[in-house]
Amino acid sequence: LWIILAMNFHAVCAQSDSTILSYKEYLGNILLHHPIAKQADLKMKLATAEMLGAKGYLDPKISAAWQQKSFDDKLYYRQYQTKLQLPTRLGIDVVGGYENTEGLLLNPENTTDDFGLWHLGVEVNILQGLLVNERSTALDQAKVFQKLRQNERQIILNDLIYQASTAYLLWQQYTYFQQVLTENVSIANTYFESTRQSYLGGEKTAMDTLEAFISYQDASVLRQKNETGLIKSRQMIENYLWYDEVPIELRTTTKPENYENRLFSNFEELNNNTLGTHPILLSSINKLENLEIAQKWKREKLKPKLKLGYHPLLATSPNSIVPNFSMNDYKWKFDFAMPLFLRSERANIQRGKVKIQETKMDIQNKRNELQNKIQGSWQQQLLLQEQLSILNENIESYRRLLEGEQDKFTYGESSVFMLNKRQEKYIGGQLKLIETYTKQQMELLNFLYFSNQLVEE
C-alpha cells in the first residue's frame, strides 16, 4: 500500500496541472524514504543480532592440544588430546574426546596404547547453574529484547509520524489562512477604490478614503505576516520529504489538501482503551522482564558450585576398530566452591531489587499519565466538535451581514467604518474556523498518538 502511495506521490509531483500533496501521499513518502524510518527498521536487525549472540552459548566447541618434548635424541613425551563439548540449555554438557600419548619419560597416568583412548561422558552443575544459568538467562533475555526492539521501533515511528503530521497540519492552516487573508486584501482594496471614486465624485470625504486605505494596508500587513509563517511551515514539510536518500523540495505551487478533509478516522469510531498495547508501556514492561530474569540468575549465585563429571573410557584393539566398553574403565570428578560471606552476591541482589522497584513505579506513572492524556483528549474532541458547529453558523451569519452592509454602502446608507467592522467579523470568523479545524485535527492526532493508533492510520 505504501509503495503504491509513494508512486502516486511522484506521479502527482510530475504533473504540472496537479499541485495537491495529500496527507496519505505525504506519510507514504515518509515511511518509505525518511532516514529516521529506516533507522527504526535497524532496531529489528539489532534484535536479530542479539538473539544470534544468545544462541552462541549453545554452540558446540571443539578443542585440540599437542605437547611434545625431545632432548638428547630422546622423545621424552608426546601428548595429543582433542575434545568436543556440546552445551545444553540446562547446566549439563555432553563431552567426548580422544587422547594418544607416547614417550620414554611419559607420566604413567597419561600412558595410552598405540591406538589411543576415547572417552564420552557428561558434566553436570548439580547446585548452582542447573536450571538457571548464564545460557538460559541470555536466551530468555534475547527473546525479551526482540519484543523490546519492536516496541522501540514503534515508538520511533510514532514520534516521527506525530511530528510530521503536526507539520502538515500547520502547513495546512497557514495555506488556508493565506487564502482568507488574500480575500481580505481583495475586499479591502475594492472598498478603497470604491471610496476613492466616491470621493472624486464628491460623495465621500477624504477621511473616508484615508480610513479605507488604512484598512487596505492593515489587510496587506496581516497577509505578509501569515506568509512568513507559511514559508516556515513549508520548510518544515520539506524536512520530512525524502527520496532515494535525497531531500525533496516542494514546488511553490504545491498545496496541502483542504483543511475540511478528515485526515484521520472519526474519533467516535476509535478505541478508547488501548493502554495495554502502547509501546511506551510495553517497552518499560520489557525492561522489567529483563531485570526479573537477571534477578533470578543473581539469586542462583547464592548457591554453592558443585560440578560432577563422569567419562567412560573406551579403548580400541588391533582386532576391532569399535571401542570396547567396560564398567570398570572410567574417569569421574567433582568440583566444589562457595564464597564464605556472599557479600558480592547479596549486594547484586539488593541492587536488582531497587531497579525492579524503580521500573515498576515508572510503569505506574507512565500508565497514569497516558490514561489522563487519552481521557483529556477525548473530552477536548467533544468540545471542539460543538465549537465547529457554532462557528460554521456564525460565519454564514457574518457573510449575510457583510453582504447587507455592502448593499447599504452602495446606496450611501452605511460607512467605511461599519463595512470594516463587518469585514473584520467575517474574515476573523473564517480564520477562527480554520484554526479550530486545525485544533480538532491536532487533538485527534494527540489522541491517536497517546492511544497507539497513529501508525496504523
Reported as a single tens digit per residue, the pLDDT across 384-408 is: 888 988 998 998 898 888 888 888 8
Cα 64 to Cα 99: distance, rounded to the nearest angstrom: 10
Cα 196 to Cα 174: distance, rounded to the nearest angstrom: 32
- The pLDDT, as a whole number, for residue 194 is 83
Query: Are 223 and 189 a contacting pair, CB within 8 Å?
Result: no
Cα 338 to Cα 326: distance, rounded to the nearest angstrom: 35
pLDDT band at 269 (very low <50, low <70, confident <90, very high): low
> Element (H or E) spanning 328, and its range?
strand 320-337
Q: Could you tell me what percentage of the chain is helix, strand and coil, using 3-state DSSP and rounding each to the nearest 5?
A: 60, 20, 20
Higher pLDDT, residue 23 or 270: 23
Kindly give, in sequence order, each residue whose CB lies less than 8 Å from that of residue 454, ignoring residues fewer than 6 positions away.
158, 161, 162, 165, 445, 448
- The pLDDT, as a whole number, for residue 272 is 62
* Helical packing angle, 134-200 and 23-33, nearest 10°: 140
- The pLDDT, as a whole number, for residue 405 is 81
Mean pLDDT for the chain overall: 87
What average pLDDT does this structure show over 134-148?
A: 94
Give SS3 for 331. strand
Query: Are 183 and 145 a contacting pair, CB within 8 Å?
Result: no
Q: Which residue has the cell 482568507?
A: 180
The rounded radius of gyration (Å) of the Cα atoms in the chain is: 39
Query: Are 267 and 54 a contacting pair, CB within 8 Å?
Result: no
Cα 30 to Cα 327: distance, rounded to the nearest angstrom: 71
Cα 297 to Cα 133: distance, rounded to the nearest angstrom: 6
The tens digit of pLDDT for each residue in 443-454 reads 999 988 988 888
Query: Are 124 and 130 a contacting pair, CB within 8 Å?
Result: yes
pLDDT band at 318 (very low <50, low <70, confident <90, very high): low
- The pLDDT, as a whole number, for residue 206 is 87
The tens digit of pLDDT for each residue in 11-34 reads 444 434 448 999 999 999 999 999
What single-letter DSSP state applies at residue 81?
E
pLDDT of 331 over the 60 cut: yes
Q: Angle CA(361)–CA(271)–CA(386) in degrees, nearest 5?
A: 110
What average pLDDT does this structure show over 302-321?
A: 84
pLDDT band at 93 (very low <50, low <70, confident <90, very high): very high
Cα 345 to Cα 413: distance, rounded to the nearest angstrom: 94
- The pLDDT, as a whole number, for residue 111 is 84
Beta-carbon neighbour count of residue 245 at 10 Å? 8
Q: What is the pTM of this model?
A: 0.82
- The pLDDT, as a whole number, for residue 209 is 87
- The pLDDT, as a whole number, for residue 270 is 66
CA-nearest of 236, 360, 374 to 291 is: 360
The tens digit of pLDDT for each residue in 172-216 reads 999 999 999 999 999 889 888 888 888 888 777 888 888 889 989
CA-nearest of 192, 245, 198, 249 to 216 is: 192
Identify the sign of the CA torsion 365, 368, 374, 376.
negative
Give SS3 for 306. strand
Beta-carbon neighbour count of residue 398 at 10 Å? 20
What single-letter DSSP state applies at residue 241?
-
The tens digit of pLDDT for each residue in 55-65 reads 999 999 999 99
- The pLDDT, as a whole number, for residue 37 is 92
Share above pLDDT 90 across residues of the chain, in percent, rounded to a whole number: 58
What average pLDDT does this structure show over 44-57?
A: 93
Cα 420 to Cα 450: distance, rounded to the nearest angstrom: 44
Write the burial class of residue 184 (CB in 10 Å: 0-12 exposed, 13-18 middle, 19+ buried).
buried
